[in-house]
Amino acid sequence: MSTSPKKNTVRGKRYTAEEKAKIVAFVQEYNATNGRGGQSVAATKFGTSQLTISTWLKGAGVSGRSKVSGGKGSMQGKLATMLTLGQDIERLERELSTKRSKFETLKASL
């Protein structure tokens, strides 16, 4: 074990609250325009790590991508949607059949 005193050194750059806010705002603006990738671009532009920016985003309450639910209710929801769509298709096909018969009647009368 070493008995020499430890040096008081700073290991990384410290960012002010204004700098953090500027970077977080940049990421939000970039993601709003381009959909995603703001964190990576900001890391390159401002010279910080993506992990640091991720921590700041979480601290600022910025939500990440929305997660797709894969719970039990998702299958029931999909089935209900399919049933509704199937009923709509049947109704529209009946309307189309009616309109086609009217069209053919008018066409034959010419």
The number of beta carbons lying within 10 Å of the beta carbon of residue 27 is: 24
What tens digit of pLDDT does each residue of 33-52 get? 888 899 999 999 999 999 99
Percent of the chain at pLDDT > 70 equals 82
Count of domains observed in the chain? 2
- The top-scoring range by mean pLDDT among 12-21, 30-39, 68-77, 81-90 is 81-90
Question: Do 49 and 83 reside in the same domain of the chain?
Answer: no
- Looking at the fold, whether 52 and 87 belong to one and the same domain comes out as no
Q: Does 94 fall in a domain?
A: yes
Examine the domain organization and report whether 24 and 48 are in the same domain.
yes
Question: pTM for the full model?
Answer: 0.49
CB 42 within 8 A of CB 10: no
**Chain centre distance of CA 76:** 24
83-96 confidence digits (pLDDT tens): 999 999 999 999 99
Same structural domain, 53 and 83: no
In a domain, 8, yes or no: no
Confidence of residue 1 (pLDDT cuts 50, 70, 90): low
Domain, as residue range, for 84: 76-110
Residue 89 lies in a domain: yes
Distance CA 54, CA 60 (A): 10
